[in-house]
């Protein structure tokens, strides 16, 4: 009886694996055409300076419009990364973000626009040439284009990654470490990264008030960032209480639902103009 039950479980289990593999292949096939079918779009999440309350820029976040539904990136970025599709997808994101940035520049406003770069995209041989070509053709000011990389890019080839970051910095780009504190990079490496900005991961911000250790980590990270000459931004700030704490700890910037959710391009333009007028007033 027991063996029977065990056998059934195994059958169900392998059926489930087959179904999952099938769904995955189907998803990959659709994702392969998402770029050419114009199914991808960027939303822009505002980032705020804590010193004066002004808008500093936006993080571009990709979405996949599939059958009228907006699919969030955690449902396809990992697959794109594993299948190699991330290079084409990532190039589209960079081009679209530059197009938007240029349009904003042409309207006389100059926000930063940050783009997420996945580890495989960063490691691809064509990455630097693509960025160089993009800067040459798009007409954007490189200082207003920010690249977000995670600590994991240095896992395999730290020296190569540092050299590439240096080249990107020489092009005038702004460089940020995303999800800081969740990876495995050592502090020794951090001090060697030629970066401008640290993004404190939202998992620390979420528990900052309840858990004393998490508060200590956030405060220490702000101090560490500043002592390395970096701008520090906290991600996932959802409440006024969190904003006030971070402000008291001299954190430079915040990003999160408290200031704004990610916005479609048109709404982001309106947000930009509204804050521009507030600043001028
Ligand atoms: P991320 O780069 O750390 O982006 C921040 C994520 O946190 C976004 O999720 C954003 O919508 C969400 N978020 C912002 N504020 C809050 C808040 O106050 N509370 C909560 N709970 N969440 C908040 P999203 O857009 O779903 O993106 C998830 C991840 O997907 C990103 O994390 C990034 O790693 C990846 N991703 C997004 N767009 C791209 C892209 O164009 N290329 C690559 N390679 N990865 C991307
Ligand atoms: Mg990011
Ligand atoms: Mg992040």
In tens, the pLDDT along 140-167 reads 999 999 999 998 887 778 899 999 999 9
Residue 82 has which token pair?
Answer: 């594993």
Supply φ then ψ for residue 65, to 5 degrees.
Answer: -90, 105
CA 178 to ligand 2 centroid distance, Å: 5
Helix (H, G, I), strand (E, B), or coil: what is residue 243?
Answer: helix
Asked if residues 90 and 118 have their Cβ atoms less than 8 Å apart, the reply is: yes
Whole-structure pTM over 0.90, yes or no?
A: yes
DSSP H or E stretch at residue 178: strand 174-180
Quick one: which atom of ligand 1 is closest to the CA of 179? 3
DSSP H or E stretch at residue 69: strand 69-71
Confidence at residue 1, expressed as pLDDT on a 0 to 100 scale: 45
CA 2 to ligand 1 centroid distance, Å: 46
CA-based angle 190:196:202, to the nearest 5?
A: 75
User: Could you tell me the sign of the dihedral formed by the alpha carbons of 236, 174, 111, 140, in that order?
Assistant: negative
Q: Nearest residue CA, atom 45 of ligand 1? A: 116
Confidence at residue 2, expressed as pLDDT on a 0 to 100 scale: 44
Quick one: which atom of ligand 1 is closest to the CA of 81? 44
Closest CA to 72 of 203, 234, 261, 207: 261
Asked if residues 116 and 148 have their Cβ atoms less than 8 Å apart, the reply is: yes
Confidence at residue 6, expressed as pLDDT on a 0 to 100 scale: 54
Give me the helix-helix angle, 127-138 and 86-106, nearest 10°.
Answer: 20
Could you say which ligand is closest to the alpha carbon of residue 256? 1
Q: How far is CA 160 from the centre of its chain?
A: 21
Q: Nearest residue CA, atom 43 of ligand 1? A: 116
Any atom of ligand 1 within 6 Å of the Cβ of 238: yes
Confidence at residue 17, expressed as pLDDT on a 0 to 100 scale: 78
Residues 51 and 281: their CA atoms lie apart, in Å, by: 17
Residues 2 and 16: their CA atoms lie apart, in Å, by: 21
Count Cα neighbours of 91 within 13 Å in the Cβ-side half-sphere: 17
CA 61 to ligand 1 centroid distance, Å: 6
List pLDDT tens digits, range 8-43. 666 677 777 778 888 888 888 899 999 889 999 999
Supply φ then ψ for residue 74, to 5 degrees.
Answer: -65, -10
Beta-carbon neighbour count of residue 67 at 10 Å?
A: 7
Confidence at residue 55, expressed as pLDDT on a 0 to 100 scale: 97
pLDDT in tens, the chain (281 residues): 444 555 566 667 777 777 888 888 888 889 999 988 999 999 999 999 999 999 999 999 999 999 889 999 999 999 999 999 999 999 999 999 999 999 999 988 889 999 999 999 999 999 999 999 999 999 999 999 999 999 888 777 889 999 999 999 999 999 999 999 888 777 878 888 999 999 999 999 999 988 899 999 999 999 999 999 999 999 999 999 999 999 999 999 999 999 999 999 999 999 999 998 888 87
Q: Nearest residue CA, atom 17 of ligand 1? A: 236
Give 165's contacts (C-beta < 8 A, 6+ positions apart). Answer: 149, 175, 193, 194, 195
Q: How buried is residue 99: exposed, middle or buried, by Cβ count under 10 Å (0-12/13-18/19+)? A: middle
Q: Nearest residue CA, atom 42 of ligand 1? A: 116
Query: How many residues are given for the chain?
Result: 281
Any atom of ligand 1 within 6 Å of the Cβ of 62: yes
Any atom of ligand 1 within 6 Å of the Cβ of 111: no
Q: Nearest residue CA, atom 25 of ligand 1? A: 61
Any atom of ligand 1 within 6 Å of the Cβ of 93: yes
Distances in Å between the Cα of 132 and the Cα atoms of 35, 104, 111, 121 are 21, 21, 21, 15
Any atom of ligand 1 within 6 Å of the Cβ of 200: no
Any atom of ligand 1 within 6 Å of the Cβ of 178: yes
User: Could you tell me the sign of the dihedral formed by the alpha carbons of 98, 103, 106, 109, in that order?
Assistant: negative
CA 129 to ligand 1 centroid distance, Å: 26
Residue 182 has which token pair?
Answer: 């969740």
Q: Nearest residue CA, atom 7 of ligand 1? A: 236
């Amino acid at each position: 009886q027991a063996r029977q039950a065990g056998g059934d479980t195994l059958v169900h289990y392998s059926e489930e694996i087959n179904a999952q593999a099938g769904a995955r292949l189907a998803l990959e096939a659709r994702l392969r055409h998402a770029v050419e079918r114009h199914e991808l779009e960027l939303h822009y999440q505002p980032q705020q300076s804590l010193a004066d309350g002004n808008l500093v820029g936006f993080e571009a976040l990709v979405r996949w419009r599939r059958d009228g539904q907006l699919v969030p990136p955690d449902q396809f970025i990992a697959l794109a990364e594993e299948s190699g599709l991330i290079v084409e997808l990532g190039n589209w994101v960079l081009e679209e973000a530059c197009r938007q940035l240029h349009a904003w520049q042409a309207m006389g406003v100059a926000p930063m626009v940050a783009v997420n770069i996945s580890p495989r995209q960063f490691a691809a041989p064509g990455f630097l040439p693509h960025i160089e070509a993009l800067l040459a053709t798009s007409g954007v000011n490189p200082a207003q284009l920010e690249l977000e990389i995670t600590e994991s890019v240095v896992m395999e080839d730290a020296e190569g990654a540092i050299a590439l970051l240096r080249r990107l910095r020489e092009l005038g780009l702004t460089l940020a470490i995303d999800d800081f504190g969740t990876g495995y990079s050592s502090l020794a490496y951090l001090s060697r990264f030629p970066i401008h900005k640290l993004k404190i991961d939202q998992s620390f911000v979420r528990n900052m008030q309840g858990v004393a250790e998490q508060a200590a980590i956030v405060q220490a990270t702000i101090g560490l960032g500043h002592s390395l000459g970096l701008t520090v931004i906290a991600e996932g700030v959802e409440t006024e209480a969190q904003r006030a704490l971070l402000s008291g700890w001299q954190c430079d910037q915040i990003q999160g639902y408290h200031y704004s959710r990610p916005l479609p391009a048109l709404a982001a333009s309106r947000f930009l103009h509204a804050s521009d007028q507030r600043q001028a007033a």
